[in-house]
Structure 1
Amino acid sequence: MAATLQERVMDTFNHLHANPELSWEEVETTKYIKEKLEEAGCSVTVFDDCTGVIGDIGNFSGEAPVIAIRADMDALWQEVDGELKANHSCGHDAHMTMVLGALWSIKDRADILQKVGVRFIFQPAEEVGAGALKLIEKGAVDQVDYYYGIHLRPIQELPNGKAAPAILHGATGSLEFDIRGEDAHGARPHLTHNAVEIGTHIVNAIHTIHLDPNIAHSAKVTRFLAGERNTNIIPGSATLAVDLRAQTNELMEQLVSRIHEILQSTQSLFNVTINITEENGVAAAEVHPEAQEIARQAIIRSIGEEYTAAPIVTPGGDDFHFYTIKKPHLKATMVGLGCGLQPGLHHPHMTFDQEALFNGIHVLANIIELHAKGAN
């Protein structure tokens, strides 16, 4: 007996949840999704130098609009009940499941598939802000006209049962650097520069950054490692990391520039070497009003106008927005799904109402159907 949609959805979610893989290591996840795409009749693309998989179904003649839906694949590395492990605490297992559910909902709908091409993009490495850029490089969205994502939202942002037609993510940044100097005996502080004191100077200097208070932003040191077991050694070296947030891309540029100025001035002040070892970031959302309106209509059709929320403004980030910045022809938005998620995203014991998966599936399927109706 063929499994019902509900059974397939829950079996898929449980499998993905039980088998998380880290960024760029989503090998078994790629194989699993590829199999599901092929079973549904998709033309499938995989890559020889990275994880991720794309499935195409419908009309790709060049005369029909192409609608793409993206799911992120990777898990986080975090401590869960005293054990460091891969963990799907950001909901990517749910996102993959909902995108597959949307495929299963429309795969036999000739009235849809004759009128639009539908591309299902399963993207690696969202958590490190690099997967979208890689798939852009691969040409994943070159043919795409409209692009949609979906993301579970915590209870602090959206009640269970509701959905929003856009998530207005802020820009995020991460900067890691080393202070390099020589250790010295605790009795001879004049022979070195104490990396703890230098790092503390940097922390305090970051707190003096004041940008437009009308635009949400923050900068804070999230890692500070210095010294070893012996307390009578003055450490000459340290490693620090800074997390940056800004609601607009323009303000993020200012924030990054100020951090660089602080590091350069600190080098001169203390006569030490500061090496930036890692610097990356994710762009703020640039939502297309047409895609947002189609998503809004799909939410109304799926769960009702009373459950349709306004776009969500959040300081969190997502590399989904690189697609629209790098490929301005895309009309894109990301749907926010209320699902009773608590205590919060990235919490090691994050939970949500799994019945909400079906709301997400219906919304995505209705987005595709609305495009097909518009292509008449």
Structure 2
Amino acid sequence: MDEQTKHFNLINIYHDLHELAEISGEEYQTTRYLTNHLQQLGLHVHHFKTTTGLYVEVGHGKRIIALRADIDAVDQQVNGEWKANHSCGHDAHMTIALGVISNLLNRQSTLPEDHTYRFIFQPAEETGLGAMSLCKEGVIDDVSMLFGMHLRPIQELSSGQYSPAIQHGASRFMTGTITGDDAHGARPHLNVNSIQVGMDFVAKLNAMSLDPMATYSAKMTAFHAGGKSPNIIPGNAHFSLDLRADENDTMELLTANIMNIKDTLRSYYGVEIELTIGDDTPGAVIDEVAEAILSKAIVECVGEQNLKPRLHTPGSDDFHNYTIYHPALKATMLGIGCNLEPGLHHPAMHFDLDQLRAAVRILSHAMQIST
């Protein structure tokens, strides 16, 4: 099969997966598609016990090198319609992983005999819950080195440029409730207005002062109080917080400050305020050995001129939960430059599909030269 035919098939697979977009935890059709494709390649498919997704292996050695591809889409409005949409590039990640599998199967006779190559198709990255669910199933307990990947916006990498590591920040989402009593609009002295409590919460978030050398942010991203009657002062409210930090230690300090804000306002107003941590994604812990291997693969596959330094981004990825759960794991993520515009999670996100082949070559080579 010539390169043009291989490229055509890779693009077909990408379009198939793009059309199968499903939100986190509901990737049933996607899992079936992957299962069918991998079984046609003659591979034994391992399904997870508690969630969607799967993994397969090539080789039978004791040293396990793994590649993770996320499989979920985001729920967003596209041309006026709410739908699952692959605007984060996970359809491309799955396509690249399938390409790497095909490459290694075609080269089985030349692969190191002491290696097994494990390919993990992970659900629910967008909720921050997928990686930890697979950790609990033991999918990385015996893995020595783990590679991931992510398409990068054009502001970070141009088409054909690659980075051997992505320094994601930590993200944490919190939900809160304010519990009190309603009162008549003519009698504001009889209750505490939950909207006022929320306004004070935002003011104190904005007034926080951590180490100026640290990079962080905390925003209230939702606030719901009151109903259809404008003459009722609402005593109850629900709200959401979005926390970001470059370093995991900064995230813990930021969280402690927010808990202090909650306690201060609860005492001042005499109302119940509760905060619950939901999706929680740590900052990247990048292994220098894995990063060096990926750098070598980039240079040998696409040239030194296309090797770019480690990327720093305020975004997050639950890939890094694997290294928090398993500190001995050597891990890094490939940053893929593909002229991605207008940006990740934009409903009209698009990118240079020609870079799928190059990413396949780089990751195939990196896995084979991992020691």
Residue pairs, 1:46-61, within 5 angstroms: 46-60=47-61
Q: CA deviation at 1:119?
A: 0.2
Q: Output one character per residue of 1:314-359: Cα deviation in whole Å (capped at 9) or x when no partner.
A: 1111111111111122111001001111111111111111111112
Q: Secondary structure at the match of 1:56?
A: strand
Q: Secondary structure at the match of 2:230?
A: coil
Q: CA deviation at 1:115?
A: 4.3
Structure 2, unmatched stretches of 5+, are: none
Cross-structure match for 2:82: 84
1:73 touches 1:92 (CA, 8 Å); kept in 2? yes
AA aligned opposite 1:77 = D
Q: CA deviation at 1:27?
A: 1.1
AA aligned opposite 1:99 = A
Q: Output one character per residue of 1:226-248: Cα deviation in whole Å (capped at 9) or x when no partner.
A: 22223222111111111111111
Comparing 87-96 with 27-36, greater Cα deviation is found at: 27-36
Cross-structure match for 2:260: 261
Q: How far apart, CA to CA, are the structure 2 residues paired with 1:125 and 1:237? A: 31
Q: Secondary structure at the match of 1:4?
A: helix
Q: Output one character per residue of 1:135-190: Cα deviation in whole Å (capped at 9) or x when no partner.
A: 11111011211100000011121122100000000111100111122222211111
Q: Secondary structure at the match of 2:218?
A: strand
Q: Does 1:174 align with 2:151?
A: no
2:170 touches 2:246 (CA, 8 Å); kept in 1? yes
AA aligned opposite 2:268 = L
AA aligned opposite 1:281 = D
AA aligned opposite 2:365 = N
1:21 touches 1:75 (CA, 8 Å); kept in 2? yes
2:66 touches 2:146 (CA, 8 Å); kept in 1? yes
Q: CA RMSD in A?
A: 1.5
Please, what TM-score do these two structures have when normalized by structure 2?
A: 0.96
1:59 touches 1:113 (CA, 8 Å); kept in 2? no
Cross-structure match for 2:39: 38
Cross-structure match for 1:144: 143
1:172 touches 1:283 (CA, 8 Å); kept in 2? yes
Cross-structure match for 2:274: 275
Residue 103 of structure 1, aligned match among 97, 101, 104: 101
Q: CA deviation at 1:275?
A: 2.5
Q: CA deviation at 1:213?
A: 1.6
Q: How far apart, CA to CA, are the structure 2 residues paired with 1:48 and 1:331? A: 25
2:177 touches 2:273 (CA, 8 Å); kept in 1? yes
Q: Output one character per residue of 1:102-130: Cα deviation in whole Å (capped at 9) or x when no partner.
A: 11111121111634210000001111111
Q: How far apart, CA to CA, are the structure 1 residues paired with 2:30 and 2:315? A: 25
Q: CA deviation at 1:367?
A: 0.7
In structure 2, relative to structure 1, the CA distance for the partners of 1:113 and 1:29 (3 Å cut) is farther
Q: CA deviation at 1:306?
A: 0.3
Cross-structure match for 1:10: 11
Residue pairs, 1:1-376, within 5 angstroms: 4-60=5-61, 62=62, 65-109=63-107, 110-112=109-111, 114-371=113-370
Q: How far apart, CA to CA, are the structure 1 residues paired with 2:252 and 2:287? A: 22
Q: Output one character per residue of 1:261-307: Cα deviation in whole Å (capped at 9) or x when no partner.
A: 11111111111112234533101101110000000011111211101
Aligned length: 369
AA aligned opposite 1:83 = E
Q: CA deviation at 1:8?
A: 2.0
Structure 1 residue runs of 4 or more that deviate by more than 4 Å after TM superposition:
none
Q: How far apart, CA to CA, are the structure 1 residues paired with 2:79 and 2:276? A: 31
Q: How far apart, CA to CA, are the structure 2 residues paired with 1:100 and 1:11? A: 12
Q: CA deviation at 1:49?
A: 2.3
Q: Secondary structure at the match of 1:28?
A: helix
AA aligned opposite 1:96 = M
Q: Secondary structure at the match of 1:196?
A: helix
1:43 touches 1:57 (CA, 8 Å); kept in 2? no
Q: CA deviation at 1:134?
A: 0.7
2:58 touches 2:104 (CA, 8 Å); kept in 1? no
AA aligned opposite 2:103 = S
Q: CA deviation at 1:15?
A: 1.0
2:172 touches 2:277 (CA, 8 Å); kept in 1? no
AA aligned opposite 1:11 = N
Please, what TM-score do these two structures have when normalized by structure 1?
A: 0.95
